Amino acid sequence: MTVNGVEHVRDVEPRLLLVHLLRDELRLTGTHWGCDTSNCGACTVWMDGLPVKSCTVLAVMADGRSVRTVEDLEGPFGLDQVQQSFMDCHGLQCGFCTPGMLMTARKLLDDNPDPTDTEIREAISGQICRCTGYRNIVAAIRHAADAEAAGRGDT
């Protein structure tokens, strides 16, 4: 499989979860392991461009696929706008859910550059944050959308 643009070849046990391959074998610890039941969303990564909860994906299911983790969000010129907006708008507290929130928010904005607050809330509905109450997370995603629109000259 390819992870963040780098090809990896591993022999793995059939029962190994993708989250454990990423964290334990590839040392990409930005993807958090929270529940093993797909409830919290902290382990969200992209597989072939779509968000998946890596605690419910077997590593063997990623054979021949492309996986993107939170480590790949930062680009050559610095933080992704979603990352910067989470910092600017205090969209995180303990940080445990943040990697999954960032990956979900990035996908939302890639697909829908100007989401409503309702659309933002729907997009992150599969993510659980036990600290923030979601207000600042929604504000951060809105801020990222607005900043990206301004960068494109949409405003």
33 and 11 co-located in one domain:
yes
Residues 22 and 67 in one domain: yes
60 and 94 belong to one structural domain: no
Angstrom CA distances, 94 to 14, 70, 132, 155, stand at 33, 16, 9, 33
Where does a domain end: 72, 97, 117?
72
SS3 79: coil
3-state secondary structure 12-75: CCCCCEHHHHHHHHCCCCCCCCCCCCCCCCCCEEEECCEEEEHHHCEHHHHCCCEEECHHHCCE
Residue 43 and residue 63 in one domain: yes
- Is residue 115 domain-shared with residue 62, that is, in the same domain? no
Does residue 40 share a domain with residue 63?
Answer: yes
- 66 and 93 share one domain: no
89 and 51: one domain?
no
**Domain coverage including residue 66:** 2-72
- Per-residue pLDDT of 43-79, as tens digits, reads 999 999 999 999 999 999 999 999 999 999 998 889 9
3-state secondary structure of 7: strand
Last-in-domain residue among 72, 95, 125 = 72
- The model's pLDDT over 14-46, given as tens digits with 9 standing for 90+, comes to 999 999 999 999 999 999 988 867 889 999 999
Give me the number of domains the chain comprises.
Answer: 2
The pTM (predicted TM-score) of the whole model is 0.91
Q: How do residues 77-106 score in pLDDT, each as one tens digit? A: 899 999 999 999 999 888 889 999 999 999
Query: CA neighbours within 13 Å on the CB side: how many for 107?
Result: 20
- Any idea which residue has 């939302």 for tokens? 108
Counts for the chain of helices (H) and strands (E), in that order: 5, 5
The verdict on 38 and 99 lying in the same domain is no
